[in-house]
Amino acid sequence: MDAIKRVIFSKSRQPLLYLFAACAGAALAVAPAPASAQYPDKPIRVIVAYPAGGATDVIARLIGARLGERLKQPIVVENRAGASGMIGSEAVAKAAPDGYTLIYTAADTHSINPHVYPKIAYDARRDFTPIALTGQNPLGLVVKTALPANNVAQLIKLAKDSPGKLTFASWGVGSSSQAAMEMFNAQVGVDLLHVPFQGAAPAIQAVMAGQVDAMMVPLTLAEPNHKAGKVRLLAALTPQRSGAAPDAQTLTEQDVPLSVGPWQGFLGPANLPPAVVALLNREVNAVLTDPAMREQLLKAGLEVSTSTSQDFKALLDSEYERWGKTIRAAKIRVD
């Protein structure tokens, strides 16, 4: 104490400053450290690499709104469309791996584009962290009403009797619609001629008008147009009958063992912290287990599935190889 008094009342101010600094340091040493920020502590941006109002965007917003409620932070959906989804995907690949920039996307950007485009600015498998599968986009095989085919066997016979004569529409070169039909062609040994369109709506309109013979189209478009008599729905490409078209037989039921359902889900940049991945996976799955949400999503075009992040990664790896094999065999390429 005497030593402290001598320093305090010293004419020199420098020892006094040293004493205050020492005392402050001691106080900090014993004071409890501030609690670390809990993720998430600010809004999360979810990039959709497609235009606003499309099926993927609508689904992302439905899930995002409920996810934001659970995380107690806003989910801000940002549309970065262009280059078949590659612009938005590249933005996420280059984002900081902190959990505040994610992508909600579909098979086209990560399972198909890498095999279709020779110059792509991201590595679909190395530049992303799989977070949560949300489901599949169920497809249906439709034909124009004037085509004399009421089932898949009759379509196959027509195609084999007139090789290279029947046509099929898609919503673009290298799209999941084209690739799914090419899988069918290879599976049954036929050769339908591809006619690409800019979008699903004009493609199915061409089938309705009788200008194109067939198409792989989302069941949410196929079923109502089938019921309205505008197209004929021959089969669902789902493993089991789909809630989107419960009366439609699957391909497997018609002796064609093929199921094609482009996936959808959440991914983040590479090296996303495991704790963040685990939290987001758990909360997305919680959103998807709500029956009312599942019904909404089915109407929007998503057949809900849930998985762990590890299972989602395994699915992405297998789908990358599966779509790639089809695309290489069909020589689908966009330079």
Report d(CA 99, CA 269) in Å as an integer. 8
pLDDT at 38 over 80: yes
**Does an H or E element contain 325, and which?**
helix 309-330
- The rounded percent of the chain whose pLDDT value lies above 90 is 84
What's the CATH superfamily of 44-136+262-330? Bordetella uptake gene, domain 1 (3.40.190.150)
Fold match between domain 44-136+262-330 and domain 139-254: yes
199 confidence band (pLDDT: 50, 70, 90) = confident
pLDDT at 31 over 60: no
Segment 98-117, tens digit of pLDDT: 999 999 999 999 999 999 99
Report d(CA 332, CA 326) in Å as an integer. 9
pLDDT at 268 over 60: yes
Strands 263-269 and 139-144: unpaired
What ranges do the domains of the chain cover? 44-136+262-330, 139-254
What mean pLDDT comes out for the span 258-283?
A: 97
pLDDT at 6 over 90: no
Decide if 67 contacts 283 (C-beta within 8 A). yes
Lowest-confidence range among 21-30, 37-46, 70-79? 21-30
- Given 3.40.50.300, 3.20.20.70, 3.40.1010.10, 3.40.190.10, which CATH number is that of 139-254? 3.40.190.10
